Amino acid sequence: MDFEDTPAEAAFRAEARAFLDANAERRKPGSVEGYRRGQDAPGAMERAKDYQRRKYEAGFVGIHWPVEWGGRGGTQIQNVIYNQEEAKYDVLSSIFGIGINLAMPTICTWGTQEQRDTFLHRTMRAEIVWCQLFSEPGGGSDLAALRTRAEKDGDDWVINGQKIWNSGAHYSDFGILVARSNPDVAKHAGLSFFILDMKAPGVEIRPIRQVSGSSHFNEVFFTNVRIPDHRRVGPEGAGWKVALTTLMNERHGMRDAPGPDVTELFRLAQEVELEDGPAIDNAAVQEKLAEFYTRSQGLKYTKFRGMTALSRGQTPGPESSIIKVVAANKLQDILSYGLDLIGMAAATMGETMPVGGIFEEALLYSPALRLAGGTDEIMKNIIAERVLGLPQDPRADKGIAFRDIPTGTRR
C-alpha cells in the first residue's frame, strides 16, 4: 500500500509538468482565481485555443485514446496524471471538454471513417468547438422522453424542436444532437443521433440567465434545420445506444466540484472573529470543521482507490459512482457554513470579502453541480440499481408508442 507513482508514471508526470511549465502560468498558491469562470474575460477563448493547439502538438490530447483514433495510445492513469498536473495551472481547457471527452469518443465508437476524418484532428487542435444537444424542457433526467423531431426528406433529415441547458452553444461550431426519428415505436427505440452544424440555417441560440447571473448555457431552437444523412452517427433508431456512449463518458469522469473546500473553510475560520475570539478556537466550529475535513478526505481516498484501478489498467470499482454526488453536496454544505461564519456581512459580494469572496460566489453557482451531468437523484438511482442491484421503478411509459405517452412540461 503506497501513494507513489510507478517509475513509468513518475516519468510521464515529469513530461507533463515540463510541457505545462513551458506553455502555461502556474496558479499562485492560495489563489482563488481558479474558481472564477474565466470564459468571459477578453481574449480568453483565443488563449484557450492557443493552449489547446500546443497541447495537441505535444501529444497530450487523447492521451488514453487508441492510436487509430489519433490518440497517444497511453493509459487511463496517464490521462488522470495529466489532468492532475494541468489543474495546478491557469488554463481553460473545459471549453473543449464536450468535444474531446464526449463527442469524439462517441463518433469514434459509432461513426463512419469519413466522420472521423472530418472532425477528429480538427477538434483535437481546437479548430472545432462542440456543444451537447441532448436535454429538452420535457426530457432531462428522463432523457429518452425528448421530442425534437428528425424527419427524413430525401438525403437530408429535417429537424424541428428545442433543446435546453446547452453549455457553450453560443460559441460552438458543431453539436451532438439526439432527436426523435420515429414517434410510433417505444420511446427508446425511436431516436437517432446526429452531428449538427451550429451555423446551419434555422438554428437559433438564446442564452439562459443562470442563478449566478451569468449565461454559460443556452436554449437552442430548430426550425426546419437540414442535416445531411452522412452526418447521422450510428444506425437510424439506434440513437439511444449511441447517446449512452456519450453519457457513460460524461458520468465516468471522477469529477470533483470546484469551489471552497476545507482549506478555504479553515482559512475563513481563522480570519473570522466570533463572540469569543477567532472562529477556529470555538469548539462548535471545530466540530463542523472536523466533519467537513473527514468528508473531504473520504472523497480524496475514494478517488485514490479509483486511480489504483486505473494504474493497474482496470476499470474503477463501483465506489467511484459516489464521487460526483458527494463532491457537489460537500461544496454546497461547506459554502453555506462558511457564509454562516461570515454572518451578516456575507450579504456582500466581491474580492474584499474573506478568502477572496469565493463563499458568496459559490453560493450562486453550486446548485448547478448537483444537476449537471446527472442530478443527485439520478446518481442515487444509478447507485441503487447498478451497484446495489435494486429493481427499477415501475414505468408508466413501458411498451407503448412514444406518441401515446402522457406528458407535462412547465414552460
Partner 1 sequence: MNFDFSEELIQLRDQARRFLADRCPPAVPRRILEGPEPFAAELWQAIAEMGWTGAAIPEAYGGVGLGRLAVCVLAEELGRAVAPVPFASSVYLATEAILLFGSEDQKQAWLPKLAAGEIIGTLAMAERPGTSDPRKLTASVAGGRLTGTKLAVPDGDVADFAVVAVHGGNGPWLHLVDLHDATVGRETVPTIDPTRSHARISFTSAPVDPLPGATEPESVRKLLDYAAVPMAFEQVGGAQAALDMANAYAKERFAFGRPIGSFQAIKHKLADMYIQLELARSNAWYGAWAVHTDAAELPIAAAVARIAACEAGWFCTKENIQTHGGMGFTWQMDCHLHYRRAKLLGLALGGAREWKQRLVAELRTRNTLGLQAA
171 versus 301: smaller Cβ distance to partner 1: 301
Distance from chain centroid for Cα 227: 26
Distance CA 334, CA 316 (A): 27
Residues 6 or more apart in contact with residue 188 via CB below 8 angstroms: 144, 240
x/- map, 250-289, partner 1, by CB under 8 A: ------------xx--xx--x---------xx-x--xx-x
Is 360 part of the annotated catalytic residue set?
no
- In whole angstroms, the minimum distance from the beta carbon of 1 to partner 1 comes to 5
Among 383, 400, 401, 405, binds partner 1 (CB under 8 A): 383
Q: 147 and 191 in contact (C-beta within 8 Å)?
A: no
- In whole angstroms, the minimum distance from the beta carbon of 59 to partner 1 comes to 22
**Does the protein bind partner 1 through residue 89 (CB under 8 A)?**
no
Among 223, 273, 301, 345, binds partner 1 (CB under 8 A): 301
Closest to 282 in 3D by CA, of 293, 270, 291: 270
**Does the protein bind partner 1 through residue 298 (CB under 8 A)?**
yes
Pairing type for strands 203-208 and 217-228 reads antiparallel
Among 308, 367, 371, 397, binds partner 1 (CB under 8 A): 308
Given 85, 86, 136, 250, which residue is catalytic? 250
16 versus 179: smaller Cβ distance to partner 1: 16
**Does the protein bind partner 1 through residue 181 (CB under 8 A)?**
no
Stretch that binds partner 1, among 41-49, 179-187, 210-218, 320-328 (CB under 8 A): 320-328
**Does the protein bind partner 1 through residue 319 (CB under 8 A)?**
yes
- Name beta bridge partners: 219: 164, 206
Q: Which three cell numbers stand for residue 209?
A: 440567465
Among 311, 338, 346, 363, binds partner 1 (CB under 8 A): 311
- In whole angstroms, the minimum distance from the beta carbon of 11 to partner 1 comes to 15
Stretch that binds partner 1, among 64-72, 90-98, 230-238, 297-305 (CB under 8 A): 297-305
DSSP class of residue 333? H
Taking the CA atoms of 235, 237, 239 and 242 in sequence, report the sign of the dihedral they define.
negative
Collapsing DSSP states into helix, strand and coil, what is residue 197?
Answer: strand
Q: Find where cell 513509468 sits.
A: 8
- Residue 163 has phi, psi (to 5 degrees) of -115, 165
Among 26, 348, 377, 403, binds partner 1 (CB under 8 A): 377
**Does the protein bind partner 1 through residue 331 (CB under 8 A)?**
no
**Does the protein bind partner 1 through residue 17 (CB under 8 A)?**
no
Among 103, 104, 128, 325, binds partner 1 (CB under 8 A): 325
**Does the protein bind partner 1 through residue 322 (CB under 8 A)?**
yes
Among 31, 141, 223, 297, binds partner 1 (CB under 8 A): 297
**Does the protein bind partner 1 through residue 32 (CB under 8 A)?**
no
Closest to 90 in 3D by CA, of 171, 23, 15: 23
Pairing type for strands 277-278 and 273-274 reads antiparallel
Q: Find where cell 475560520 sits.
A: 269
- In whole angstroms, the minimum distance from the beta carbon of 359 to partner 1 comes to 16
Among 16, 48, 63, 77, binds partner 1 (CB under 8 A): 77
394 versus 408: smaller Cβ distance to partner 1: 394
Distance from chain centroid for Cα 157: 29
Degrees, nearest 5: CA angle 136-139-143? 110
Q: Give Dmax (Cα) for the chain.
A: 77
Collapsing DSSP states into helix, strand and coil, what is residue 245?
Answer: helix
Among 223, 387, 398, 403, binds partner 1 (CB under 8 A): 387
Residue type, 370: R
DSSP class of residue 26? B
- Residues in the interface with partner 1 (CB under 8 A) total 55
Q: 91 and 48 in contact (C-beta within 8 Å)?
A: yes
The number of beta carbons lying within 10 Å of the beta carbon of residue 329 is: 16
**Does the protein bind partner 1 through residue 244 (CB under 8 A)?**
no
**Does the protein bind partner 1 through residue 75 (CB under 8 A)?**
no
**Does the protein bind partner 1 through residue 3 (CB under 8 A)?**
yes
Q: Find where cell 441560440 sits.
A: 205
Q: Find where cell 495546478 sits.
A: 88
Question: Which residues of this chain interact with partner 1, rule CB under 8 A?
Answer: 1-5, 9, 29-30, 77, 262-263, 266-267, 270, 280-281, 283, 286-287, 289-291, 293-295, 297-302, 304-305, 307-308, 311, 319, 322, 325-326, 377, 379-381, 383-385, 387-394
Q: Which residues are catalytic?
A: 250
